[in-house]
Amino acid sequence: MDNLDYGIIGNCKSAALISKTGSLEWCCLPNFNSAAVFAKLLDEKRGGSFEFILDDSYKITQEYLWETNILNTLFDDGENSFQVIDFMPRYEREDSTYYAPPDVIRFIRLISGKPKFKVKYDPRLDFAREKTYSEHKGNYIKSFTNEGKYDSLFLYSSLDLNDVLEQNEIELTGNAYFLLGYHEKLITQSLDRSYLKFQRTKTYWMNWSAKTTRYTHYEKEIMRSALVLKCLSYKKSGAVLAAATTSLPETIGEERNWDYRFCWIRDASMVIKVMAGLGHIKSAKDFLQFIIDIIPDKDEKIQIMYGINGEKELTEHILDHLSGYKGSHPVRTGNAAYIQKQNDIYGILMEVIYQQFNQFETSLENSEELWTVVRGIVKIVEENWQKPDKGIWELRTEDRHFVFSKLLCWVAIDRAIKIGEVLRMGINDTHWKSLRAEIYNDIYKNGWNEEVQAYTQYYGSKDLDASTLLMEQYGFIEAKDPRFVSTVQATERELCKDGLMYRYKNKDDFGEPTSSFTICTFWLIDSLFKIGEKKKAKQMFDQLLSYSNHLGLFSEDIDFETKRLLGNFPQAYSHLALIETAANFSIGTTSEESWLSEF
Give the pLDDT score at 256.
81
Tens digit of pLDDT per residue, the chain (599 long)?
A: 679 999 999 999 999 999 999 999 999 999 999 999 999 999 999 999 999 999 999 999 999 999 999 999 999 999 999 999 999 999 999 998 999 999 999 999 999 999 999 999 999 999 999 999 999 999 999 999 999 889 999 999 999 999 999 999 999 999 999 999 999 999 999 999 999 999 999 999 999 999 999 999 999 999 999 999 999 999 999 999 999 999 999 889 888 899 999 998 888 778 878 888 898 888 888 887 888 788 766 666 788 899 999 999 999 999 999 999 999 989 999 998 888 777 788 898 888 888 878 766 666 667 888 888 888 889 989 999 999 988 887 665 678 999 999 999 999 999 999 999 888 776 667 899 999 999 999 999 999 999 999 999 999 999 999 999 999 999 999 999 999 999 999 999 999 999 999 999 876 655 667 789 999 999 999 999 999 999 999 999 999 999 999 999 999 999 999 999 999 999 999 999 999 999 988 865 555 444 334 33
Structural domain boundaries in the chain:
6-209, 212-590
Helix/strand/coil percent split, the chain, to 5: 35, 20, 45
- Round to whole Å and give the CA distance between 65 and 83: 12
Contact 566, 249 (CB under 8 A): yes
- Round to whole Å and give the CA distance between 505 and 116: 52
Give the pLDDT score at 351.
87
- Round to whole Å and give the CA distance between 159 and 156: 9
Backbone φ and ψ of 58, nearest 5°: -85, 130
Torsion angle defined by CA atoms of residues 454, 460, 464 and 468, in that order, rounded to the nearest 10 degrees? -70
Terminal-residue alpha carbon distance, the chain = 36
Residues contacting residue 536 through CB under 8 Å, at least 6 positions apart:
528
Contact 181, 132 (CB under 8 A): no
E strand or H helix at 501, and its extent? strand 500-501
Strand partners, 305: 264
Strand partners, 259: 246
Q: Is 527 left (phi over 0), alpha (psi -120 to 50) or beta?
A: alpha
Give the pLDDT score at 428.
62
- Round to whole Å and give the CA distance between 335 and 285: 27
284 SS3 class? helix
CA angle, residues 191, 228, 367, in degrees to nearest 5: 115
E strand or H helix at 528, and its extent? helix 518-530
Note the CATH architecture for domain 212-590. Answer: Alpha/alpha barrel (1.50)
Residues contacting residue 289 through CB under 8 Å, at least 6 positions apart:
238
- State how beta strands 515-517 and 500-501 pair: unpaired
Give the pLDDT score at 301.
74
Q: CA dist 33 to 100, 259, 321, 585, Å? A: 16, 9, 19, 36
Note the CATH architecture for domain 6-209. Answer: Distorted Sandwich (2.70)
Give the pLDDT score at 595.
34
Give the pLDDT score at 594.
44
CA angle, residues 529, 535, 537, in degrees to nearest 5: 45
Backbone φ and ψ of 559, nearest 5°: -70, 130
Contact 393, 344 (CB under 8 A): no
Task: Dihedral sign for Cα 348, 354, 360, 363, please.
Answer: positive
- Sheet with 141-145: list strands edge to edge: 59-64, 71-76, 81-87, 103-112, 176-181, 152-157, 141-145, 132-136
Max Cα distance, the chain (Å): 78
Residue-level length of the chain: 599
DSSP per-residue string spanning 28-56 = ESSSTTSPEEE-TTT-TTTS-EEEEE--T
| Closest by CA position to 81, among listed 106, 63, 50, 57 | 57
Tally helices (H) and strands (E) across the chain: 14, 32
Contact 390, 399 (CB under 8 A): yes
Contact 531, 479 (CB under 8 A): yes
| Closest by CA position to 516, among listed 472, 574, 473 | 574
DSSP per-residue string spanning 434-490 = HHHHHHHHHHHHHTEETTTTEE-SBTT-----GGGGGTTTTTSS-TT-HHHHHHHHH
